[in-house]
Amino acid sequence: MTSGRRTSENDDSMRTITLTGNDLSRADVAAFARFEARIVLDAQGLAGVQRTADFLAEQVRRGEPIYGVTTGFGSNADKLLGAHRVRDELPGGNPEAVEGTLLEELQRNLVITHAVCVGEPFAPEVVRAMLAIRINTLMRGHSGIRASTLQSMAALYNAGIVPVVPCKGSVGASGDLAPLSHLAIVLLGQGEAFLGGERMDGGEALRRAGLARVVLSFKEGLALNNGTTQMLACAALALDRLDALVDLADLAAAMTLDAFAGRSSAFRAEVHALRPHPGQVETAARLRRLLAGSNLADIAYHLVPRFATWRADSWDDAASRAQRFDIAWDWVPLSQRHGREAFYRRFLPFKGGKKHQPQDAYSLRCIPQVHGAVRDALAQARRIVDIELNAVTDNPLVFPDAPGARQIEDQVISAGHFHGMPLALAMSYVKAAIPVLASISERRTNKLVDPATNDGLPAFLSGNEDATDSGFMIVQYTAAALVNDLATRAHPASVHSVPTSANAEDHVSMGANEARHVLEMCEDLGHVLALELYTAAQALDYRRDMLNAARDLARRGDASALAAKVAGAPAAGAAGRAEFDAEVVALCGALAAAGEFHPGAHVTLAHARIRQEIPFQSRDRAMDADVRRITALVASGALAALASGTSDL
């Protein structure tokens, strides 16, 4: 136990998390969002909460003017509440029956008039996260809310009541006023809520759960709806997803690199020690781990055949005829080797699928620099979110024990912690990073299907022997469309402030829009990565099987069978024929001596997991079900767990 925070298991096996106001974590928020934990309020923290509420009540009794307690809000801050309603002075009394005191009416009206969001309701996960975060920040004891009201909020969450919170309506200062009012209005028995998946009036949800409605006291409406809670909930949940997606991106990249039989030297530790951005160093290390054990990466160029279209006479035995490909090399004649003698002493003079170049395209070679920069953006956002989770973000702030206080303004201080710009700018950074990660993934997908760039794999990853197949052509179209959509949504909302409240709130953060956009963009990023994995698994099958077919042919010990796969051979008795025959024997020996070709161990596990859901596509088939399966597999987290090393097959 640290900082007073406790977790435990209760009788119904759902664990409990004690909220103290000091140590809520992103992992806790994710657990609350999934309704995997119940809320318990720290007793010592509740005592501090009640002490502040009692202090505020005493100041009201003494007639002290306090913003949001005995004054209006926003541009109405200059209006002091009277001792009674003005219409009470009418002959015969006030004809409008109003429940409660003016001070209670002020707080109630603040909530019910601010609950004006529009759009589809947030998912229950977001709303539950909002509830937990709001309770936690109020547990700090600087907001003036009563302990009993916090206990009612915790009971609302624990009963499984999910307020209906439409997703659009916050400008991110003063906090998330409108969405938090939708959250709070259910406590008053109004608004709407979900209970057991059924949408109903807020009062009915309370009745079914056996909970009483709350009558708000001094400053409680302001405490409930003034803060950065919606944007923070969206940001925390988005980071939870993005942490998994950036791991998944590394796995997709590793599978693609193995399918290319690419070069791994760009990921070496000593390389990245010279430019030690933390995310870059981490990504390079992860790639080394994911590729460990591969004998596809860094393979000698001359061993890799290129795809050739299958023909009835491509293979001379029944087992080989089942293949969906033929294989081929070109021999480099002696006349084309001058000036390259050193190279051809190291590599045999055969051109197959791999080009004779020491470096891959940027989408492969620069994976650490690009994925790593995204990791650094996420790290910065995590730092901001982790601070905000245990921060007080409403206004005014109450300091009942302020030393040397001479007047109420020394103890009830109007400030600006509700302003969401710290979160907004962090989310702008992440928002820009998402299409970057998606874009480099799409570029790798494109390289896999393009015969001009896929290093000897079949066009669109289909044998297409009868010229009727499209293969994976349109998979890349979908990825391209998603990348464009993500890019158009990446424009920062935080740079456009629109003043509100008659210009009393003349600069706002738009952080709620920013964080909501980021959370929504996570799904499409996952889809882009899923499409890369889907494509890379097909490409990997071709690369591995083509190399192993070459190896099997070589292991038969008949160099003439391998020679038949090589174009450019001199005619028998012609100049260069002896060299050709000797070099084919050398190629045959190198292939025969190689172990069975396979990707890295982690890539192998991921590929096998994909193949449990989606078989290799030997001929065109309906691909819609495959796409549904791969996107569902990515959404399940199973592949991300393999990528992070937290799971195995």
Residue 67 bears catalytic tag: yes
Assess whether 148 and 281 both reside in one domain.
no
Task: Tell me: pLDDT of 104 over 90.
Answer: no
User: What is the extent of the structural domain holding 215?
Assistant: 7-86+98-227
What's the CATH code of the domain at 223?
A: 1.10.275.10
Where do we find the tokens 């539950």? Answer: 128
DSSP state of 71: B
Length of the chain: 649
Assess whether 218 and 247 both reside in one domain.
no
Please write the tens of the pLDDT for every residue from 16-60.
Answer: 999 999 999 999 999 999 999 999 999 999 999 999 999 999 998
Q: Is residue 394 part of a domain?
A: no
Where do we find the tokens 């008039």? Answer: 113
pLDDT band with cut points at 50, 70 and 90 for residue 507: confident
Assess whether 179 and 255 both reside in one domain.
no
Q: Is residue 387 part of a domain?
A: no
Query: pTM for this one?
Result: 0.93
Q: What is the DSSP string of 485-527?
A: HHHHHTS-GGG----BTTTTB-----HHHHHHHHHHHHHHHHH
Assess whether 219 and 260 both reside in one domain.
no
Phi, psi of 515 (to 5 degrees): -70, -35
pLDDT band with cut points at 50, 70 and 90 for residue 8: low
Assess whether 172 and 59 both reside in one domain.
yes
Query: What helix, strand, coil percent values describe the chain, rounded to 5?
Result: 55, 10, 40
Q: What pLDDT is stored for residue 87 in this prediction?
A: 73
Give the orientation angle of helix 278-291 with respect to helix 601-613, to 10 degrees.
70
Task: Tell me: pLDDT of 117 over 80.
Answer: yes
Task: Give CA separation, 335 vs 233, 332, 341, 355, 587, in Å.
Answer: 68, 8, 11, 19, 20
Task: Tell me: pLDDT of 61 over 90.
Answer: no
Q: What pLDDT is stored for residue 431 in this prediction?
A: 98
Domain final residue, candidates 163, 198, 227:
227
Assess whether 259 and 218 both reside in one domain.
no
Domain final residue, candidates 197, 227, 257:
227
Q: What pLDDT is stored for residue 411 in this prediction?
A: 93
Q: Is residue 534 part of a domain?
A: yes
Assess whether 69 and 17 both reside in one domain.
yes
Assess whether 316 and 444 both reside in one domain.
yes
Closest CA relative to residue 234, chosen from 394, 390, 385:
385
Assess whether 223 and 301 both reside in one domain.
no
Domain final residue, candidates 165, 197, 227:
227
Please write the tens of the pLDDT for every residue from 287-304.
Answer: 999 999 999 999 999 999
Give me the catalytic one of 67, 344, 429, 542.
67
Assess whether 550 and 430 both reside in one domain.
yes
Q: Kindly state the average pLDDT of the residues 225-234.
A: 96
Q: Is residue 91 part of a domain?
A: no
Q: What pLDDT is stored for residue 6 in this prediction?
A: 61
Assess whether 356 and 458 both reside in one domain.
yes
Please write the tens of the pLDDT for every residue from 429-474.
Answer: 999 999 999 999 999 999 999 999 999 999 999 999 999 999 999 9
Task: Tell me: pLDDT of 649 over 60.
Answer: no
What's the CATH code of the domain at 525?
A: 1.20.200.10
Greater confidence, 31 or 12?
Answer: 31
Q: Is residue 388 part of a domain?
A: no
Q: What pLDDT is stored for residue 529 in this prediction?
A: 98
Please write the tens of the pLDDT for every residue from 382-410.
Answer: 999 999 999 999 999 999 999 999 999 99
Task: Give CA separation, 430 vs 220, 235, 246, in Å.
Answer: 34, 10, 12
Task: Tell me: pLDDT of 414 over 80.
Answer: yes
Assess whether 154 and 260 both reside in one domain.
no
Phi, psi of 84 (to 5 degrees): -155, 170
